[in-house]
Amino acid sequence: MFDLIIRSGTLVDGTGAPPRIGDIAIDGDRIVEVTTTDGGHIDGAARREIDADGQTVTPGWVDVHTHYDGQATWDPELSPSGWHGVTTVVMGNCGVGFAPARASQREWLIQLMEGVEDIPGTALAEGMSWNWESFPEYLDELDSMRRVADVSALVPHGAVRAYVMGERSANDPATEADIAAMGAIVREGVAAGAAGFSTTRTLLHRAKDGELAAGTTAGAEELIAIGLAMGETGHGVFEVASDLFDPRSEFAWMETISRETGLAVTFGCLQNDLQPEQWRRLLDLTDAANAGGARIVPQVAGRPACLLLGFESSAHPFILHQAYREIAGLPLAERVVRLRTPEVRAAILDEEPQLTGIAAFLLSSFHKLFPLGDPPEYEPAPEASVAAIAARQGRRAQEVAYDLMLEQNGRALLYLPLLGYSHGNFDAMAEMLDHPAAVLGLGDGGAHCGLLCDAGLPTFMLSHWARDRSRGARLPLATAVRHQTRRTAELYGFTDRGLLAPGLLADVNVIDMDALGSLAPEMVYDLPAGGRRLIQRATGYTATIKRGLVTREADESTGERPGRLLRGPQPA
């Protein structure tokens, strides 16, 4: 008698092999039998059977790029990732997180996270117990709670630097003693079970106080020393978010760490509009490094890094207009009434705010601004842009944007794809995804609450890339599944999952491909202290099974929470 049999599903097993019809048997938290021939059948009975006839059966998604460091201490659903079939997350990316932390540094770490990842500080302050100081103590806190998914955490550079050098000098040059102390903390954290170490080297990542995120300007000797200290534990991934303004010098230290430790260094690899072909050079540098014995892993996106602009978001084209600022503090419903009056509308639209720099660029890129729509469209054609609509209608782009954002009672969102959309389609991302060393990531689950929500990326990989895409080649379903199961699991050494195979963890999605989709993102106020965040709900997950237990059924929680803290790699 098995615990669970999933019958007659279309198995997409995570290896990239073509789908086949078959059964899966589960005992306890393990897959114990999988039919290997198309149409194969498992004999015997089970305490529970799921009829998956006509449904697609995949391993649970492994999302290696999230920011649930705070939320994981209070939200067992890890939403919205937990709603999208994700059964394993890695958090602590991009150099920000909450351990190690002295009591006196908590507020500072919160404003760092709030600035870099746009997670409401009030929610973090109310939501976290701060029942820890060291990284191992933080892991113990994570370990004391069960969730719908397994969690694994990176040691964040920002917190380590502040702990060693003091938060006020967290961007000063590090002394030899500072570097040694940071290395010791990282080694201790990874030895206790951290997934590795993360750092940020992008000018886009700033704390709420306007300072660059701690560690952004760290020198190569510091990064190498920390990498080698991590390497002494024999495991860990080194994660980097970098602008890569000088790719050769960034690759030099990344290669050194990887070659000397034998461990992976993963960097965010995205297309940017200033150098739309730079990613090709990054992939060439990756190939050269890996041919020389390094393991450099470009972390690539499945959807452009975007901003969702609207009257409820953290940004929109009129946010700095004086006439808007006068009503900005009103609740949305009242604001919408005012925004609809001809006087307020005219006052806002007649104003030309003096914008400079990135704000001016972002809030006036109407040719790159699109109505997101419902269901949301993430690969719109150029003629769908606000600028194109305005040209067709003989109106100003500002007016079109204003009126579009007033739709759905002021809740409609405009989509501004910032990275990965230089040529107005996903072709560059498709090529990046196809690179043999690349790993899918960058969904940023739990972060950027007021401006975007890409935690539903795993759903999108199937619904858009494998099923709906019309403006370029689709991905084979088996490839889309492999990208977010076996490939991502392997990066972190989680080889006990990511495949439908006997002996592996019973993390499984049963998916109705016809119904699979993501609803339009919506702003909700459900974080601690009423904190605001954009969420995106999924449809089409018939069942999500974590460690053998059904955690979601027909897109609703069952209340089961078998997810644990992962300490280091998880060999099969």
Using the contact rule CB under 5 A, the part of the chain among 54-62, 94-102, 123-131, 293-301 near Zn ion is: 94-102
Using the contact rule CB under 5 A, the part of the chain among 88-96, 186-194, 245-253, 429-437 near Zn ion is: 88-96
End-to-end CA separation in angstroms for the chain: 24
Residue 142 binds Zn ion (CB under 5 A) = no
Rounded to the nearest whole angstrom, what is the least distance from the CB of residue 180 to Zn ion in the complex?
28
Rounded to the nearest whole angstrom, what is the least distance from the CB of residue 72 to Zn ion in the complex?
15
Specify the residue, 92 or 100, whose C-beta has the smaller distance to Zn ion.
92
Give the 3-state secondary structure of 57-102.
EEECEEECCECCCCHHHCCCCCCCHHHHCEEEEEECHHHCCCCCCC
Integer Cα distance of 474 and 488 in angstroms: 20
Nearest to 429, CA basis, from 268, 248, 246: 268
Rounded to the nearest whole angstrom, what is the least distance from the CB of residue 94 to Zn ion in the complex?
4
Rounded to the nearest whole angstrom, what is the least distance from the CB of residue 377 to Zn ion in the complex?
24
CB atoms within 10 A of CB 372: 22
Using alpha carbons only, give the angle 352, 355, 356 rounded to the nearest 5 degrees: 150
Cβ-closest residue to Zn ion?
A: 94
Structure tokens, 280: 């090709």
Using the contact rule CB under 5 A, the part of the chain among 11-19, 91-99, 325-333, 520-528 near Zn ion is: 91-99
Specify the residue, 56 or 71, whose C-beta has the smaller distance to Zn ion.
71
The binder of Zn ion chosen from 93, 199, 266, 365 (CB under 5 A): 93
Helices (H), 218-365: 220-231, 247-261, 278-291, 322-325, 332-340, 342-350, 357-363
- Determine contact, residues 80/537, Cβ cutoff 8 Å: yes
Using the contact rule CB under 5 A, the part of the chain among 89-97, 163-171, 291-299, 424-432 near Zn ion is: 89-97
Nearest to 459, CA basis, from 82, 7, 151, 31: 82
Helix, strand, coil shares of the chain, percent, nearest 5, are 35, 20, 45
Rounded to the nearest whole angstrom, what is the least distance from the CB of residue 463 to Zn ion in the complex?
23
Site size for Zn ion, by CB under 5 A?
3
Residue 419 binds Zn ion (CB under 5 A) = no
Rounded to the nearest whole angstrom, what is the least distance from the CB of residue 572 to Zn ion in the complex?
28
Distances (CA, A) of 127 to 64, 253, 364, 419: 23, 37, 36, 32
Residue 94 binds Zn ion (CB under 5 A) = yes
Specify the residue, 63 or 507, whose C-beta has the smaller distance to Zn ion.
63
Using the contact rule CB under 5 A, the part of the chain among 19-27, 86-94, 101-109, 542-550 near Zn ion is: 86-94
Integer Cα distance of 433 and 488 in angstroms: 12
Rounded to the nearest whole angstrom, what is the least distance from the CB of residue 152 to Zn ion in the complex?
15
Specify the residue, 94 or 481, whose C-beta has the smaller distance to Zn ion.
94
Integer Cα distance of 499 and 463 in angstroms: 20
Q: Which of residues 425-464 bind Zn ion (CB under 5 A)?
A: 444
Rounded to the nearest whole angstrom, what is the least distance from the CB of residue 164 to Zn ion in the complex?
23
The residues that touch Zn ion, with contacts defined as CB under 5 A, are 93-94, 444
